[in-house]
């Protein structure tokens, strides 16, 4: 199923049966695949409040909605590969899907991937905040006329 929830099931399946170390290695593979921020977004980094303040390292997110479908542009500092990998997974999962599917992403994603106990309580909470951040961004983007929330 090529829906958000179907893609999540796929990711959860990829992480299943891996030990802690292998889960982190897979997360690093995802991190390496996060596309670079397109230049037009990179140029807006300084002028728009796109930094996720829940994250300690610089994380910039542009959850965008055009024509009813979602796309997530992101930039995460290399010193935070865990965050980068998780954001890359979320970008894959929401790509081209409608807003209501994105809003249905559950709070238990990290538990289902088996990452919560590898990362510990505080890190898991920090990453979960990113999911909330993306959902809020997508909702805001979907309710503005040009698909982009005001700065």
**Would you tell me which residues interact with another protein (CB under 8 A)?**
21, 24-25, 27-28, 31, 51, 53-58, 79-83, 85, 117-123, 125-126, 129
Nearer to another protein, 40 or 49 (CB): 49
Kindly state the smallest distance separating residue 103's Cβ from another protein, in Å.
22
3-state secondary structure 29-94: HHHHHCCCCCHHHHCCCCCCCCECCCCCCCEEEEEEEECCEEEEEEEECCCCHHHHHHHHHHHHHH
Kindly state the smallest distance separating residue 143's Cβ from another protein, in Å.
26
Nearer to another protein, 125 or 136 (CB): 125
Max Cα distance, the chain (Å): 46
Which of 111, 70, 72 minimizes the C-alpha distance to 90? 72
Nearer to another protein, 4 or 59 (CB): 59
Cβ burial, residue 28 (10 Å; 0-12/13-18/19+): middle
Kindly state the smallest distance separating residue 44's Cβ from another protein, in Å.
19
Nearer to another protein, 17 or 40 (CB): 17
Kindly state the smallest distance separating residue 89's Cβ from another protein, in Å.
13
């Amino acid at each position: 199923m090529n829906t958000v929830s179907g893609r999540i099931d796929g990711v959860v399946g990829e992480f299943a049966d891996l030990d802690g170390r292998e889960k982190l290695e897979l997360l690093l593979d995802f991190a390496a695949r996060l596309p670079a921020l397109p230049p037009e977004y990179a140029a807006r980094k300084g002028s728009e409040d796109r930094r996720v303040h829940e994250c300690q390292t610089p994380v910039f997110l542009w959850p965008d909605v055009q024509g009813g479908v979602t796309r997530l542009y992101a930039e995460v500092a290399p010193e935070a590969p865990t965050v980068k990998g998780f954001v890359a997974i979320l970008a894959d999962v929401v790509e081209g899907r409608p807003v209501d599917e994105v809003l249905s992403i559950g709070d238990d994603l990290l538990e289902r991937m088996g990452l919560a106990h590898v990362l510990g309580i505080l890190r898991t909470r920090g990453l979960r905040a990113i999911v909330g951040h993306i959902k809020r961004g997508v909702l805001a983007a979907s309710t503005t006329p040009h698909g982009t929330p005001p700065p």
